Amino acid sequence: MSRSFTIAVLPGDGIGPEVMDQALRVLDALASRDNLSFNYQHALVGGAAIDATGQALPPETVRCCEQADAILFGSVGGPKWEKLPPAEQPERAALLPLRKHFGLFANLRPGVCHPALASSSPIRPDLVEGGFDVLCVRELTGGLYFGQPKSRTTLPDGDIEVIDTMVYKKSEIARIGHVAFQAAMQRRKLVTSVDKANVLTNSVLWRETMIEVAAQYPEVTLQHLYVDNAAMQLIKAPRSFDVMVTENLFGDILSDEMAMIAGSLGMLASASLGKPRGDGLYFGLFEPSGGTAPDIAGKGIANPIAQILSAALLLRFSLGLEAQAKAIEDAVKAVIEAGLRTGDIDSGAAGTRRVNTREMGDAVIAALKA
């Protein structure tokens, strides 16, 4: 009998549905290869959900996710919905509540630059030669994005005052610290904690807590960087990082910087995880690092690899299918090494060939079956 899993599929907007199609084709190919059964429950989210129901995150979408083993998410937003008030914008009204509802506090973004793609990185070739592999661990449910009070007030003199509040509890810092150190134990055993402890009270507690957590992982080296320096070091010496751990806002910015120096947002997956379920697995939401890419949406040319690799992370963290996750990652690597390139990673190097979204999906499936 085949093992059966339920996956909530939320393609969203822009290139979301295009790249999601390829990820599902890859999962289907894997299912038939390994006698697995993936039951996809499709649901609306983001702008597509606003258009259909008036809400970016309809209650039936939340219910669909609650009944699933994990969520495979595309991306949300786009010019059509940009004029909505900030609280109703697709990202804020769909993604943030989803993360909060499921307590998805740990965002893991592997920033891998394949050696064969070093020429797609915008930084100096000698700095990325041989590729690099950084894991960014970002706290996802605290800090400035969620802290209260949050307000906008017109003052008596007509000036406008806005307030966002950065709040962290020690327990929240410690739990993300453990995620980072546990990941480092499986890697090169170096954690770089990023903060702004020379200015922010939040960061002072962050640093103290990371030092306490580090004491439980004597094999792992902990180093601290101020966020401004971290932004610089990522460009100057990306190979010097192993696991980077940081709070919500800093992680949002640094992980995009990391994605760009790795070659393209279209290559990088992410996993947003809640508490471990007890069997070592996590309920999670898995999505590409990039957005809806309105500039190329509808053209069939987006890179589906980030979405396909997000599906691999889903297999690993939520379904416990490590061998299948690795098979997808190896297939992607083989396709890159064979020279197939969507536009975002095509530097025109000799031995490469330009492909579209579906052709890239086809190639990954072929590599899986090989």
Q: Are 290 and 265 spatial neighbours (Cβ–Cβ below 8 Å)? A: yes
Q: Which residues within the stretch 79-98 sit at the binding site for ligand NAD (CB under 6 A)?
A: 91, 95
CA distance 41 to 10: 8
CA distance 76 to 182: 31
209 binds ligand NAD (CB under 6 A): no
Number of residues that bind ligand NAD (CB under 6 A): 22
Q: Specify the residue, 50 or 302, whose C-beta has the smaller distance to ligand NAD.
A: 302
Q: Specify the residue, 320 or 343, whose C-beta has the smaller distance to ligand NAD.
A: 343
- Would the CA dihedral through 80, 78, 123, 224 be positive or negative? positive
CA distance 44 to 53: 9
Q: Specify the residue, 97 or 276, whose C-beta has the smaller distance to ligand NAD.
A: 97
Catalytic residue flag (residue 252): yes
- Would the CA dihedral through 101, 102, 106, 111 be positive or negative? negative
Per-residue interface string for the shown chain with ligand NAD, residues 341-360, x marking contact by CB under 6 A: ---x----------------
Q: Which residues within the stretch 279-308 sit at the binding site for ligand NAD (CB under 6 A)?
A: 287, 290-296, 302-303, 306
CA distance 267 to 277: 29
Catalytic residue flag (residue 157): no
Per-residue interface string for the shown chain with ligand NAD, residues 228-267, x marking contact by CB under 6 A: -------------------------------------xx-
Catalytic residue flag (residue 133): no
Catalytic residue flag (residue 40): no
Burial of residue 348, with CB atoms counted within 10 A of its CB: 0-12 exposed, 13-18 middle, 19 or more buried: exposed
CA distance 289 to 291: 7
Pairing status of strand 340-341 against strand 353-354: parallel
Helices 322-337 and 16-34 pack at an angle, to 10 degrees, of 120
Q: How far is the CB of 58 from ligand NAD (least distance, A)?
A: 16
Q: How far is the CB of 279 from ligand NAD (least distance, A)?
A: 28
Q: How far is the CB of 271 from ligand NAD (least distance, A)?
A: 13
Catalytic residue flag (residue 195): no
State the catalytic residues: 145, 196, 228, 252, 256
**Which residues of the chain form contacts with ligand NAD (CB under 6 A)?**
15, 19, 75-78, 91, 95, 265-266, 287, 290-296, 302-303, 306, 344
